[in-house]
Amino acid sequence: MSQEANIALLIDADNASPDHLDEVLLVLGELGTINIRRAYGNWQKTALKGWGLLSTAHSIIPVQQFDVVKGKSATDMRMTIDAMDLLYRGHVDGFGIVSSDSDFLPLAQRIREDGLPVYGFGTSKTPISFQNSCTRFFDVAALAGAARDGGEQAGVDEDLVEVLGAAWKASKRDEDGFAPLSEVGQRAKAVSSFAARNYGFARLGDLVRSLPNFEVKATGDGKQLVRRLR
């Protein structure tokens, strides 16, 4: 039996809401075991009270970082230093970063250079540069919507169709135009921060089936194939 990936969850409490923590833990829990859980911020601020209440309930270690200069948080620097320490120790298999701050773009790029995945969690207004620097980026509001609606909300758009269409075109296809769904998914993730959960679906197959532009079919050995119709 293979050992589950050891995931480090680092939360920028100064720049993230605690409202969607359950969804974040659910997603990361499917990707590995979250053995390291830290939330960074100036805990003297009343705005962080919500995170403080959740830290005990979810075994999250609150890391105090005072504001060095009034009106400017030093949380991102402390988070980055700790992330690099964890990276160099070599006992972490992946990172979850909860923040909508583009300042973490270099950190995500550096971690991925070592071959480790970075799972970003933030709002839809998170700069696209940081979103794409992550292996996968999750819109926390979309995750919450999927949980409420049972994973059946559509929320699809033309950009999504184009990403999947390009991935399908680049994949190996049979004579009928069908490509392995798993390959299409991997190619989509390689060129963007694509994640099915951002559109309200737990599985890629369910998302693609909801799009009239594609056809999905199952093979006798349980694999799924997809082709673009239009």
Q: Is the pLDDT of residue 106 over 90?
A: yes
Q: What is the pTM of this model?
A: 0.70
Domains of the chain, with CATH numbers? 6-149 (3.40.50.1010), 158-228 (3.30.420.610)
Q: What is the mean pLDDT of residues 44-50?
A: 85
Q: What is the mean pLDDT of residues 83-105?
A: 94
Residues 218, 37: Cα–Cα separation, whole Å: 39
Task: List Cβ<8 Å contacts ≥24 apart for 193-196.
Answer: 193/120, 193/131, 193/132, 193/134, 193/136, 193/137, 194/136, 194/160, 194/163, 195/136, 195/137, 195/138
**Region of residue 174 (left: phi > 0; alpha: psi -120 to 50; beta: else):** beta
Write the pLDDT tens digit of every residue in 153-202: 444 567 788 888 888 888 889 988 899 898 888 888 766 667 777 777 77
- Only one residue has tokens 């293979």, namely 2
Average pLDDT, the chain: 84
Q: What is the mean pLDDT of residues 85-97?
A: 94
Q: Is the pLDDT of residue 71 over 60?
A: no
Burial class (CB in 10 A: 0-12, 13-18, 19+), 44: exposed
Residues 47, 206: Cα–Cα separation, whole Å: 38
Q: What is the mean pLDDT of residues 37-44?
A: 90
**Least trusted range by pLDDT, from 53-67, 110-124, 169-183, 196-210:** 196-210
